[in-house]
Structure 1
Amino acid sequence: MPSKSTRRFIIVDDSTIREARDRQEETRPRKRQRVDEDEEEERKKEEAGSAGARLVCDPEYYKEDGDCVVRVDNILFKVRKELLSTSHTFADLLEGRRGAIDEHPLQLHDISVEELRALLFALYFQPDDGTLVALPLDHTGAEFVILLATISHKYAFQEIHKWATEILEHTASSNPAFMESCSSATLSLMVDVAVQCNILHLLSSVVDKWNERVYHKSTPSVPAMQAADKHELLSLRGVAYYVHVQDMLDRQTHTPEGGGTQLRVDPKLNNGQVMRLLSGYCSLVSYWERLRLKPLELPHASDACTVDAHRSCVATWERRWVSAVGWKRILGYNSADILALLTCLRDQLGGDEELKKGTTPECRAAGLDLLKTHAETTRKRLSDHFFGCI
């Protein structure tokens, strides 16, 4: 009689019995085989679809003197192999390839047609041409250099990458006209390159300029919010979310009967970003309420004010603070606009005659300076309010 296979089990505890590992492993090769077959079938489908695509020669970079054919999507490039081989990454890909045959190109899947064209432009670039030097001064040129920085980093063309990133750094730090007028898409691409290539100086310059433009509303806040969340850029996140909260409150409507508030947010934001906005709004309002009821502690100008005299200064400071936060001008701001409220409060106290009479000039100046510093610190730490819900 044929022998029957014996199944073995392991008693794990009083309520759990599982099949022995060696029995489990018997079935694994069959599952792997099926996966392998599925992968092979998928690969054949991709090759069939690829073969059926109509191939087109690139009008600029399918050159007669080329000895290497490269394919991206359905575009063929015929270029000199020695140019591509200046990158050790490409040199490895081209190793063993002989001749330039359209039917058997080097096919690249992780690069766009535009990126390869930018790379080939730089590789064929003649030093006495001078064209590239002026490109970053306009928006098309900047986008080209960004593409070039990205692809040269990916394929380790070190000289080209150095050249492209130096132009971007110079543009970000020394071309204010460009940085004031470029689109959010360009700023986002520059941030992507800076993060991907770990160029900290470029990242700092772009984020600082983007912060200022968003804060002064010369560029929309939503693209900045998306870039900040993508790369965890806290300073940009704080300013962008803060500005969007103010815009959201400006666009709010009310139900005619119950008086309920209807908030409108940009449809491009996801649920997590909306939650961060709402929690940030609550946090900012709560912060102002605490600050309104508890004045900042007045610094003691010890070189010009005695301890006893300072007690009088503190009492006057706190009394005028409580009075100032109830003035009509301050009440005209929404309670989440903390930066405007702090600026307005400082202006009000700066012109308050009773504060001038009831404090020494030195203590009064120290108090106003403290308010200014507090506003600056609050702006730097705006992201603390937009952490979402715990």
Structure 2
Amino acid sequence: MEADADVTLIDVDLGVQVVRDPEYYKPSGDCKIRVEDTLFNIHRFLLERDSSAFETMFQLPQGMEKPQGSSDDDPIVLMGDTAEEFRALCWALYALPDEIVKESTATNSVKKLARVAVISHKYQLAAFQSWSLGSIRGRCTPGGYLRTCPSHLLPIILRPLILCREDSLVDTVVDVWLYRLSNLKQTGFIANFHAYDPLPVSAFSDAITFAEENQLRQFLGRLYYARLAVAHRDSKMPTSSLIKFPFGDLEHRHQQRILRGSWSLSAYWQHLITEKPSLQRNCPSSSTNCRPEWNSIWQDATAHGGATDILFKLRYIRDQIPSHRQNMTEGCANKGKAIIESLITQLEVALPDHFLGPP
């Protein structure tokens, strides 16, 4: 049954109300597609271009006079997509050149571009995927759009990058997200961090949920670690009341993982400080200060950084080695730096294991 654009239709089989899209139910369209509770009517040839997956959907089954999608009563139903994603694809299909150019550079277009990238990837619309991803890439520079964009856009940007295996860009977005969550401006850990807008501690919850849902184990481990470091830093701030449990904003399982990681990292540091790696054994007899200097740097590191911020402590040791060169041979100093660099790399890789256990 045909109806006006603003009339609510009923799917008899599913018992759901279906509303025609106000913009992309085209009177001249020849392909009805339902996404969630929204009915679209667009031109079939636009979806058949670019060797997309829609070509298979549009093939006429043998013995049928009309293919699916020819009427409101028998639309093609897309599962697993959102009406907003398909509406964004429709915009890309019908957009004029000047609209595309404007949208590619507009600061408020990221959400639409991400939706186009996600749905064009799913249905193998290579040209639209390439264009939308290219526009997103232009925003994924550490000193650009990512440094000040609203936090709710970070997972929206990440999703198509993950789907399309843009690993280096995923790492960039993750790094900036962590920097902003950690509010590293207060620590001076990153040069020129004043250019980044810090995020409130409460924003950790959304980031942790995203990392867990998308099975980003490394990102999840880094988030737990950063949350620990922030809690330790905040506990040192002046306060007129007792310190509250710092992880009350997180779900119970995340609290348990962070507490487990805190214990594990503390135990790891105790092992390192007790059984610290030795320097070269063939140190010249005239340079007997090498080992005492090495031990002194390690001991000094215990007072720097949070109790479980082992990466900060290791970086502190690495950065102190040059100032002790006058009392150490060049060979021992270089050996010490190489040892610390190796420990940093190993811990960065193993961070999730401290919080989540072995994979």
Q: TM-score, normalised by structure 2?
A: 0.73
CA contact (8 A) 1:118 1:147 kept: yes
CA contact (8 A) 1:249 1:263 kept: no
Q: Decide which structure has greater helix share.
A: 1
Q: Which residue of 2 aligns with 1:80?
A: 43
* CA 1:135–1:48: 2 relative to 1, 3 Å: closer
Q: Which amino acid aligns with 2:153?
A: T
* Equivalent residue runs for 1:307-318 within 5 Å: 308-310=285-287, 312-318=288-294
Q: Does 2:277 correspond to 1:293?
A: no
Q: Which residue of 2 aligns with 1:238?
A: 221
Q: Which residue of 2 aligns with 1:157?
A: 125
Q: Alpha carbon RMSD of aligned pairs, Å?
A: 3.7
After the TM superposition, which segments of 4 or more aligned residues of structure 1 sit over 6 Å from their partners?
Answer: none
Query: How many residue pairs get matched?
Result: 322
Q: Which residue of 2 aligns with 1:93?
A: 57
* CA 1:134–1:345: 2 relative to 1, 3 Å: same
What SS does structure 1 have at the residue aligned with 2:266?
helix
Q: Which amino acid aligns with 1:90?
A: F
Give, in angstroms, the shift of residue 161 of structure 1. 1.8
Gapped regions of structure 2 (runs ≥ 5): 1-9, 61-65, 185-197, 237-241
Q: Which residue of 2 aligns with 1:265?
A: 247
Q: Does 2:207 correspond to 1:224?
A: yes
Q: Which amino acid aligns with 2:148?
A: S
* Candidates 311, 314, 331, aligned match of 1:342: 314
Q: Distance in 2 between matches of 1:380 and 1:99?
A: 50
Q: Distance in 2 between matches of 1:192 and 1:178?
A: 17
Q: Distance in 1 between matches of 2:305 and 2:166?
A: 40
CA contact (8 A) 2:68 2:76 kept: no
Q: TM-score, normalised by structure 1?
A: 0.68
Q: Distance in 2 between matches of 1:99 and 1:241?
A: 48
Q: Which amino acid aligns with 1:238?
A: G
* CA 1:111–1:239: 2 relative to 1, 3 Å: closer
CA contact (8 A) 1:61 1:77 kept: yes
* Candidates 200, 212, 222, aligned match of 2:167: 200
* Equivalent residue runs for 1:18-33 within 5 Å: none
Q: Which residue of 1 aligns with 2:347?
A: 378
Give, in angstroms, the shift of residue 356 of structure 1. 3.8
Q: Distance in 1 between matches of 2:260 and 2:157?
A: 30
**Can you list the C-alpha shifts for 1:138-184, whole angstroms capped at 9, x where unaligned?**
55311111111111122222221222223333432x47311212344
CA contact (8 A) 1:72 1:108 kept: yes
Q: Which amino acid aligns with 2:164?
A: C
* CA 1:62–1:321: 2 relative to 1, 3 Å: closer
Q: Which residue of 1 aligns with 2:231?
A: 248
Q: Which residue of 1 aligns with 2:190?
A: none
Q: Which amino acid aligns with 2:84?
A: E
Gapped regions of structure 1 (runs ≥ 5): 1-43, 254-259
Q: Which residue of 1 aligns with 2:89?
A: 119
CA contact (8 A) 1:139 1:182 kept: no
* CA 1:205–1:318: 2 relative to 1, 3 Å: closer
Task: Report the identity percentage.
Answer: 25
Q: Which residue of 2 aligns with 1:275?
A: 256
* CA 1:299–1:184: 2 relative to 1, 3 Å: farther
Q: Which amino acid aligns with 1:228?
A: A
**Can you list the C-alpha shifts for 1:232-265, whole angstroms capped at 9, x where unaligned?**
4344233211111123345669xxxxxx996331
Q: Which amino acid aligns with 1:331?
A: A
**Can you list the C-alpha shifts for 1:282-303, whole angstroms capped at 9, x where unaligned?**
1111122222233332347x8x
* CA 1:206–1:136: 2 relative to 1, 3 Å: farther
Tell which deviates more after alignment, 154-163 or 229-238: 229-238
- Looking at CA atoms only, which structure, 1 or 2, has the larger radius of gyration? 1
Q: Distance in 1 between matches of 2:69 and 2:316?
A: 74
